[in-house]
Amino acid sequence: MDSHLLIKAARLFRSHFGRDHAVAAYAPGRVEVLGNHTDYNEGCVLSAAINLGTFFLAAPADGAICRLIAGDIMEEATFDAAAPVPSAASAWANYCKGVLAGLSGHGRSGGGFLGLFLGNLPLGAGLSSSAALEMSAAKALCALYGIALDPITLARIGQTAEHEFAGVKCGLLDQITSLFGREKMLVMSDFRSLAVENVPLGDGVCFLMCNTNAKHALVDGAYNERRRKCEEAARFFASVLKHPVTALRDVSWAEWQEHSGRMDPLAARRAAHPIGENERVLNGRELLRQGNLEAFGQLMFDSHRSSREHFENSCRELDFLVDTARKVPGVLGARLSGGGFGGSAVLLVHPRDAAVIGQAMTTAYRREFGHPCDIRVITPSAGARLVAP
């Protein structure tokens, strides 16, 4: 958590509203480490809350109107606290409007608020700046309105805000990771039971996020196609296996190998990725418990290969980064992070090697594409919380 950023946010709040904020909350972004596209297949994911995030500061308003400031651009959006609705104008405000609407279903009463948010998460890097905004807003507004909610309920409020106010059909991974993060630990989420545990990563490693700055077209359509094929595959396996199958989480890799030849080839290929990923997550948890970082890193490489070959949600830029990382001494593992089709690759490295590896990666990327990739050192960090005003 960047205390200087909080000081800046407080100064901007005071300057704009002519008064101090009453409550403040912070929520981190997240990095997905293993478990790509397993969440909506009711599987498991290993992720981490990171050392970048968003502050949300708030105070009671005199009336029923909410005034919300995006601190990076100092743009203001206003809306009725009693009936927040999504709007194309100042679309960034829709995430907070959705959170406020969600809290109304849990006993929120009272007037409007004055709010300002400010963060240091780069947009479009696959670090989930939207979930960080939602969870920091949820924490701050719960404190402002005197509401006590458990973390999973807060996560669902954030997810609903994405669905109904931002138009993004996301899962719960981003919000859960932002809420349940702990320093030096990964978050293990089971998306069937919504059970969450923390798995120690250890002191001797960190992550490098390599942002391609690539945004490819047709991402929404490609995502929908892959989800449909996963659902089609689950129905096929339910028809041929003797045990119940409600999602691909219920299918083992051995079962895929035995029966995939009888499936639609594209559905079989798409299904191979989340089925294999779920087993990699479970194996990865055990390897971390054993302290076997080298083997864990190999699972990350295996995950990216599956993304490339089976799910086809990588891209030339991401493949180049992972292929380059394999050749750079000191890189333990690498893969795309998040939905794919652009965004960032995540590398598992020792902190002592991070600067040299980062330079090697950005030099190689510049040579190949004519511009550098953005490199950031990422460490697993604590989850969303209130901070002292």
pLDDT digits 0-9 by tens, 62-80: 999 999 999 999 999 999 9
The number of angstroms, rounded, from the C-alpha of 319 to the middle of its chain's C-alpha atoms is 20
Residue 215 has pLDDT above 80, yes or no: no
Q: What is the mean pLDDT of residues 110-114?
A: 91
262 pLDDT tier (thresholds 50, 70, 90): very high
| Cα separation, 336 vs 189, whole angstroms | 19
46 membership: H or E segment, kind and range: strand 44-60
| Topology classification of domain 3-200+382-387 | Ribosomal Protein S5; domain 2 (3.30.230)
Q: What are phi and psi of 254, to 5 degrees?
A: -60, -40
Distance CA 343, CA 127 (A): 9
Beta-carbon neighbour count of residue 363 at 10 Å?
A: 12
24 touches 264 (CB < 8 A)? no
- 362 vs 340, more confident: 362
Mean pLDDT of 221-233: 87
**Active-site annotation holds for 190:** no
**pLDDT band at residue 124, thresholds of 50, 70 and 90?**
low
The reply to whether the predicted model has a pTM over 0.85 is yes
Looking at residue 218, its pLDDT comes to 45
Instruction: Give 258's pLDDT tier (boundaries 50, 70, 90).
Output: very high
Residue 217 in this model has a pLDDT that exceeds 90: no
In this prediction, residue 220 has a pLDDT band, given cuts at 50, 70 and 90, of: low
Residue-wise burial string across 116-152, b where 16 or more C-beta atoms lie within 10 A, e elsewhere: bbbbbbbeebbbbbbbbbbbbbbbbbbbbbebebebb
Question: Any idea where the domains of the chain sit in the sequence?
Answer: 3-200+382-387
Catalytic residue among 39, 174, 250, 353: 174
Closest CA to 117 of 101, 104, 99: 99
Mean of pLDDT values over 344-356: 96
